[in-house]
Amino acid sequence: MNDAPVQGLGPLAQGWQMLRLAARHPPAAPGQWLELDLQGQSLRLPVLEQHAEWTALLLPPALARKLPELRPGSPCRVNGPLGPAAPAAPVLLADEVGLAAALHAARRQNPPPRLVLIGAADSLPFRPRPSRYLIGPKPAEAIAGIAMLEELGIPSRIAHPDGLPGCFEGDAVGLLRRWWGGLETKPDVRVLALGGEKLRRRLDEEAEGLPQYVFQPIPAP
């Protein structure tokens, strides 16, 4: 493992935290993750963003609460990056576990994806905002996108079990099924799904009503 001290820690929405570590490990490809030894906690977190001097990760609220003393300068040991690199795909799909990996992939792909669909089990690290991009006739109620992707010209939509304003009520797979089913002409696309075991099971359950997809597992933290 390499020493990678904490360079920064910033609050996001709903208790999420942006964790920035010194980049003292090999470059991480989209879809890869790091193993961290951080204040007595063993964590596995997919890379959100990487630069020459630092690597950014997302800390979910439950993990952030376990690290109340975390601050810039806190020691951290890092192993990785681990796992295969994510293949490029026109459509990206992710649950809460694969969220950071999907955002990393979306920003690194060339050409960028046509659409990114994100499902939240509970909370989101960002506030949904109305999208500027039309993605098809359904689901008509899903008009909220992810600001960081919108600014890059990448259309996105969000699913949430409570149906937050502008979000599809349900999960990421339900959102994908509704979008795909609402298209009169089906484009020749492949979906890259990034997430945990629950996402894989949901894809298998709904496979007949979905476009072709490839599932890449992301370990739970």
Across 124-140, average pLDDT: 89
Q: Which residues of 177-207 are buried (b: 16+ CB within 10 A; e: fewer)?
A: bbbbeeeeeeeebebbbbbbebbbebbeeee
Average pLDDT of the chain, as a whole number: 94
Residues 143 and 107 occupy one common structural domain: yes
pLDDT score recorded for residue 82:
97
Residues 127 and 162 occupy one common structural domain: yes
Final residue belonging to a domain, choices 59, 81, 103: 81
Across 138-156, average pLDDT: 92
Residues 48 and 123 occupy one common structural domain: no
Residues 74 and 95 occupy one common structural domain: no
The neighbour count for residue 107, using CB atoms within 10 Å, is 16
Residue 162 has, within 13 A of its CA and on its CB side, a CA count of 7
Question: Does 138 have pLDDT greater than 90?
Answer: no
Task: List the structure tokens of 190.
Answer: 């492949």
Question: Domain range spanning residue 135?
Answer: 91-217
148 located within any domain: yes
| pLDDT band at 191; cut points 50, 70, 90 | very high
Final residue belonging to a domain, choices 81, 114, 136: 81
Question: Does 163 have pLDDT greater than 90?
Answer: no
Question: Does 152 have pLDDT greater than 90?
Answer: yes
Residues 117 and 168 occupy one common structural domain: yes
Question: Does 219 have pLDDT greater than 90?
Answer: yes
Residues 120 and 47 occupy one common structural domain: no
Question: Does 137 have pLDDT greater than 90?
Answer: no
| pLDDT band at 28; cut points 50, 70, 90 | very high
Question: Does 1 have pLDDT greater than 90?
Answer: no
pTM to 2 decimals? 0.94
Across 135-150, average pLDDT: 90
Q: What is the CATH number of the domain that holds 115?
A: 3.40.50
Final residue belonging to a domain, choices 55, 81, 107: 81
Count up the domains in the chain and report the number.
Answer: 2
Residue 105: exposed, middle, or buried by beta-carbon count in 10 A (0-12, 13-18, 19+)? buried
86 located within any domain: no
Residues 10 and 40 occupy one common structural domain: yes
Across 92-108, average pLDDT: 97
- List, edge to edge, every strand of the sheet that includes 168-169: 168-169, 156-160, 115-119, 91-94, 191-195, 213-217
Question: Does 86 have pLDDT greater than 90?
Answer: yes
62 located within any domain: yes
pLDDT score recorded for residue 140:
86
